[in-house]
Amino acid sequence: MNSNIENYILRSQQQDWSPLQEEGINTQGIFVKALRFDEQTQRPPSILLKFEPGAQYPYHNHPAGEELFVLEGEAIIEGAKLTGGDYLYTPPQFKHSVATEKGCVLLLIVPEEVEILEK
């Protein structure tokens, strides 16, 4: 087994932000960087999301829960304002939306794909 740590490092500052694209919903003003791709599930469970001021992600369910860490800015989730350094764990089947007035960058660990509940 190769134990070279460099094989496991992703230098996110060298990665470009890509527009978040999800079929059937408005993700305007939201950008993504995938940190890790899971070959088994064929999706990235660890991502960075950047929200421009005024951007929002619709009401959705997390079948397997979620971990969210605010790196910068502020996000509003179910009426609670989270700012840089705040951490949120949402248990399985937790439903919420995400909005921001001023913009934010979030680190997300999402073990399973979310289910959009409103379009």
Per-residue pLDDT of 40-64, as tens digits, reads 888 888 999 999 999 999 999 999 9
88 within domain boundaries: yes
pLDDT category at 6 given cuts 50, 70, 90 is confident
Say whether pLDDT at 1 is over 60: no
26 within domain boundaries: yes
Say whether pLDDT at 39 is over 90: no
56: domain range? 16-116
Do 60 and 95 touch, CB atoms closer than 8 A?
A: yes
Domains of the chain: total: 1
Do 51 and 103 touch, CB atoms closer than 8 A?
A: yes
pLDDT for 35? 93
1 within domain boundaries: no
90 within domain boundaries: yes
Q: Please report, for the domain that includes residue 23, its CATH number.
A: 2.60.120.10
Q: Which of these, 114, 101, 93, 118, lies nearest to 47 by C-alpha position?
A: 114
Say whether pLDDT at 119 is over 60: no
